[in-house]
Amino acid sequence: MRDDRKLEQAARAAWLSYVARRTQDEIAQEMGVSRQTAQRLVAQALAAGLVKVRIDHPLTSCFSLEKDLQKRFGLKMASITPAAAGQTGVAMAVADFIESHLQQGAPITLAVGAGRTLRAAVTQMARIDCPQHRIASLTGNISADGSAAYYNVLFSLSDIVTARSFPLMVPVIATSKEERDALHRQPGNIRVMEMTKHAQVALIGLGSMGSEAPLAKDGFLTMAEILALQEQGAVGEILGHSYDINGKFLPKNERVASAELPSTERALVVAAAFGPDKRDSVFGALHTGVINGLITDETTAASLLK
């Protein structure tokens, strides 16, 4: 009877943990036990075989797509999420990617870009104590109106990790080439750009060039300027620099103040993107030679292979 009672408690703790999604503190309070006992009960349920894990077809399909993408485009890594998970699934995969690198013991420099998917990923992350690492921004941190750029990821990350953060104190797009050059000569910005250039890992978003182009929505370029880029063949942009479907960069906009990406010969440079409007952007980006990793959804991945 005593063993049955223990098993019943373990089953209840496991149900609260895996089905009801309660935290260990909540389980302890609900069951009237200590946090340590709640943790032990969940572990006992696992050991007794009361918890079953089933990998269904969508995830298996994603594994296959990852291998095919790596082979087709010569990538060092690919992470594909089930279509049903939507942008949240991609954001969670990006969060896992960031956490896996910041939880390493050896110091690294992580260079980060900006974007909606990257910012959504930060909201999925747990707090990490990692003072040995550095995080440096690849893009400017100032919006067109002078405020902090909303989709800059560095500031959001600095709220939940203890790694030292290094912002690039420039606008995303300067008013002129002369202004950008003057800002790039500032000692603080020179140091940040050296960090990003030699970073071991870089994570960026990809911008589209359609009606939902982030550069237009966020006020950095006008729709007339976006249409002009489209006429030149632009399908996407990386850190403000446009490229065509074959991965060829258009003549650079000399007002763009972004830092330089590290070389793919020695660094892992990963792009994250989601949705049908990003398909051409991703396809072109895979041919630029400046990225060697991809995080995206199942539908986009399948379309790239076609």
Parse the chain into domains and list their residue ranges.
2-47, 57-305
**The pLDDT of residue 152 is above 70:** yes
Residue 99: closest CA among 134, 82, 124 = 124
Tell me the average pLDDT across 184-212: 94
List residues bridging with 295 in a β-sheet: 79, 272
Residue type, 293: G
| Distance, CA of 152 to CA of 118 (rounded, Å) | 9
% of the chain beyond a pLDDT of 90: 62
Fold match, 2-47 / 57-305:
no
**The pLDDT of residue 5 is above 90:** no
Predicted local confidence at residue 214, as pLDDT? 83
| Distance, CA of 126 to CA of 106 (rounded, Å) | 20
Contact 194, 261 (CB under 8 A): no
| Separation in Å, CA 252 to CA 18, 54, 71, 229 | 51, 49, 30, 11
Sign, CA dihedral 83-50-24-26, equals positive
**The pLDDT of residue 56 is above 70:** no
Predicted local confidence at residue 150, as pLDDT? 66
CB atoms within 10 A of CB 61: 16
Predicted local confidence at residue 197, as pLDDT? 96
| pTM for this entry | 0.79
pLDDT in tens, 84-141: 888 889 999 999 899 999 999 999 999 999 888 998 999 888 889 999 999 999 998 7
Predicted confidence band at 61 (pLDDT cuts at 50, 70, 90)?
confident
Predicted local confidence at residue 195, as pLDDT? 97
**The pLDDT of residue 244 is above 70:** yes
Six-digit token string for 246: 């074959």
Predicted local confidence at residue 146, as pLDDT? 67
Six-digit token string for 133: 């690492």
Contact 167, 195 (CB under 8 A): no
Tell me the average pLDDT across 224-231: 92
More confident residue, 83 or 143: 83
Predicted local confidence at residue 238, as pLDDT? 95
**The pLDDT of residue 53 is above 80:** no
**The pLDDT of residue 73 is above 80:** yes
Residue type, 60: T
Contact 70, 96 (CB under 8 A): no
Predicted local confidence at residue 125, as pLDDT? 87
Predicted local confidence at residue 222, as pLDDT? 85
Predicted local confidence at residue 247, as pLDDT? 97
Query: What's the whole-number average pLDDT of the chain?
Result: 90
pLDDT in tens, 18-50: 888 899 999 999 898 888 899 999 999 988 888
More confident residue, 18 or 145: 18
Q: How would you classify the pairing of strands 207-208 and 236-238?
A: antiparallel
- Classify domain 2-47 by CATH number: 1.10.10
Topology (CATH level 3) of domain 57-305: Rossmann fold (3.40.50)
Predicted local confidence at residue 97, as pLDDT? 93
Residue type, 283: F
List residues bridging with 35 in a β-sheet: none
Predicted local confidence at residue 256, as pLDDT? 92
